Amino acid sequence: MRTDIAPHLSQDPGVKVSEEILRACVHCGFCNATCPTYLLTGNELEGPRGRIYLIKNILEKGFKPSRQTLQHIDNCLGCLACETTCPSGVDYSRLLEEARPRLDKLVKRPFSDRLLRAILTRLLPHSGRFRFALKMSGLGRAFSFLLPKNMKPLLAMAPKRLPQAATVAKPGVVPAEGERRLRVALLTGCAQQVLGPQINDASVRLLTRLGAEVVIPKDMGCCGALTFHMGERKRSRKLMAHNIEVWHRELEGEGLDAIVLNTSGCGTAVREYDYIFRHDPKLADKARVVTERVRDISEVVADLGLGEAQEAAGLKVAYHDACSLQHGQKVKDAPRQLLRAAGFEVVEVPEAHICCGSAGTYNMLNPALAQQLQARKAERIEQVAPQVVAAGNIGCMEQIAGGTRVPVVHTVELLDWATGGPRPASVPRR
């Protein structure tokens, strides 16, 4: 695609990155075929091709975009299905990440939008604050009539009861059962520690049962994905830099064979650390070493070998491909193969490439579109009549569970159960 960047922007490093990406696009439109928002609306500006043209116009003409333009960009889920589809290898996600902070400087959002974003970026990355906020949500519901309209969906999504804190996945070192085959660090997540601590417990049990020593650093924090995707570069880089230093300290100490992620949204973000810090003289090398060690838990378990399954034979499982796992990390086969090896009957969900509508904070910032995608995903799941749904990302799990009565669990919960762990609480007894 021909580009003529505005002279006053031509020396901006971020603009130079964007220009290279724009030049790779051939305007074929294949991306629109797999874009969830284009699928829902049929609007060219609600697909990747249209959004690319909007960003191109901003950079070429150097003018202040409208709020409508900002909304078209905001409506993108960042699901990365377009990148999987694109025959030209357009790095759409990086183009988007370069555009978002620029748009936030050029277009002033309504006060209620700014307030909601400020709340999310200051709560979600901090598990203690997030837990407290959820405990107080009952009071918030009582006074919901006083809240701005865009905050009411946030309250509606808050669970009425929170699960107990993790009992196994606590900061420290959990030794391998039997001979140690690997030494790994586990990122327990920020929201996941509050909404799904049982996932971390199952992960530790499964990994140690298969011969991995699991390290959970005491001062590990949020991966920075949520704030980064909302355009808050400074805040997200601070979180990311902290994690790089924590992991690097472990790497230089007793060493790590892998940095294991059981939240695929976090995994996709951490795999980008080397790119984000590529120009940082203090962190570039450390970030590269960290990124090289990052692996989804399904990949690590597949390498270790699941062993003999003890339970669950024949249970019908619909496996949901989290976008960040299938498109972001290109991990599709390992979870399915593991579930089958564990004795589950795995059934494929129609339109597996289409996002469920969670997308980090998307379902809180864009509830109308997110709810349409939720209903569509739930309908497709129920078409195959599973007994349980398995997914590799807490955001997807919460989103899908809100649209169907079919129990939704993390893949590792099923694998842990099948190899000697407890039955997930929501899995029906036969």
Query: Using one digit for the tens of pLDDT, what is the confidence trace for 48-98?
Result: 999 999 999 999 887 788 999 999 999 999 999 999 999 999 999 999 998
Contacts for 20 with CB less than 8 Å, ≥ 6 apart: none
Q: Is 135 helix (H, G, I), strand (E, B) or coil?
A: helix
Structure-block tokens of residue 97: 């990440």
CATH number at residue 43: 1.10.1060.10
- Is 94 within the bounds of a domain? yes
- Tell me the C-alpha distance between 68 and 51, whole Å: 12
Residues 278, 292 within the same domain: yes
pLDDT attached to residue 143: 52
Calculate helix-pair angle for 92-106, 48-61, nearest 10 degrees. Answer: 50
DSSP state letters, 175-194: PPSSS--EEEEEE--SHHHH
Structure-block tokens of residue 362: 């998307």
Residues of the chain with pLDDT under 70: 1, 138-148, 150-155, 310-313, 430
pLDDT attached to residue 124: 87
- Is 276 within the bounds of a domain? yes
pLDDT attached to residue 144: 58
pLDDT 10s digits, 376-413:
999 999 999 999 999 999 999 999 999 999 999 999 99
- Is 291 within the bounds of a domain? yes
pLDDT attached to residue 140: 61
Indicate the number of domains in the chain. Answer: 4
pLDDT attached to residue 141: 61
CATH number at residue 276: 3.40.50
Distance of CA 98 to the CA centre of its chain: 19
Strand partners, 186: 260
pLDDT attached to residue 242: 96
- Tell me the C-alpha distance between 252 and 241, whole Å: 16
pLDDT attached to residue 358: 94
Residues 59, 134 within the same domain: no
Asked whether the CA dihedral 248, 249, 253, 257 is positive or negative, the reply is: negative
Residues 188, 250 within the same domain: yes
Domain span including residue 57: 7-106
- Is 423 within the bounds of a domain? no
Residues 141, 205 within the same domain: no
pLDDT attached to residue 154: 67
Residues 192, 289 within the same domain: yes
Residues 269, 361 within the same domain: no
Residues 248, 367 within the same domain: no
pLDDT attached to residue 202: 97
| pTM of the predicted model as reported, rounded to 2 decimal places | 0.92
Residues 224, 253 within the same domain: yes
Q: Which amino acid is at 369?
A: L
Query: Would you mind telling me the total number of residues written for the chain in this entry?
Result: 430
